[in-house]
Amino acid sequence: MAEPTAHSEATAPGEAHTEVPGGVAHAEPTALGLDASMWVALAMLLVIALMVWKKVPSAIGKSLDKQIAAIREQLAEAEALRKDAEALKAEYEAKAKAADKDAAAMVERARHEAEAIVAKAETDARALVTRRQAMAEAKIAAEERAAIDELRATTAKAASAAAAKLIAEKHGATADKALVDQAIAGLGK
């Protein structure tokens, strides 16, 4: 059995036939001689014409221009902020370099001051040692003098005691009287 085609059967005006599997044909609706795809195209043309008539493309263009202007402003602001940030960065880098130089100068100054303090401490220590040595020598000399004086005093005591003993042993009361008389006689002259 042969399958019917869309054009082999007679169609009524305003209807189109399509071939469906299984041999049964369905009619596609049409209006005013236009099928569905033509009506969709006509509706699209009507919508586009309406959009042009209402100036939608220019409104969209204006909206896009506003957005472009806003984006340009944001870009300009971002560029200005970037330049400010770069200036701040350069300023802080300069301050950091200056702070490094100041820190190096402070360290150098502190090193010189420490060297001066050490040198002064060495000089003071030497002077202190010299003073203490002089004081010790003076004390030793004083102790020596005191020891010599004490030795002289002890020696003088011992000598006078020995002399008194010798005199007492060798001289009696009569010999002493003669010596005293002689000394008294010598005083008158």
Read off the pLDDT band of 8 (50, 70, 90).
very low
CB-based contact 30:16 (threshold 8 Å): yes
pLDDT of 96 > 80? The answer is: yes
Amino acid at 46: L
Q: What percent of the chain has pLDDT over 70?
A: 83
Rounded Cα distance between 143 and 56, Å, is 124
The confidence score (pLDDT) of residue 27 equals: 65
| Opening angle at CA 98, ends 92 and 103, nearest 5 | 120
The closest alpha carbon to 14, from 37, 39, 31, 36, belongs to 31
What gap in Å lies between CA 67 and CA 74, rounded to an integer? Answer: 10
Please state which of the ranges 42-51, 74-83, 124-133 shows the lowest mean pLDDT. Answer: 42-51
Q: For 170-182, what is the mean pLDDT?
A: 75
More confident residue, 67 or 189: 67
Dihedrals phi, psi of 7, to nearest 5 degrees: -100, -10
Residue 141 has pLDDT above 80, yes or no: yes
Residues contacting residue 39 through CB under 8 Å, at least 6 positions apart: 31
Q: Which of residues 27 and 1 earns the better pLDDT score?
A: 27
How far apart (Å, rounded) are the C-alpha atoms in residues 105 and 112? 10
Q: Could you tell me the pTM of the whole model?
A: 0.36
In angstroms, the CA 91 to CA 87 distance is 6
What letter does residue 72 receive in the DSSP assignment?
A: H
Provide the pLDDT for residue 102. 93
Percent of the chain with pLDDT over 90: 47
Residue 6: pLDDT above 60? no
What does the longest C-alpha to C-alpha distance in the chain come to? 205
Q: Which residue has the tokens 């010598």?
A: 186
pLDDT of residue 34: 77
Spell out the alpha helix ranges (H) of the chain. Answer: 36-53, 56-170, 173-188
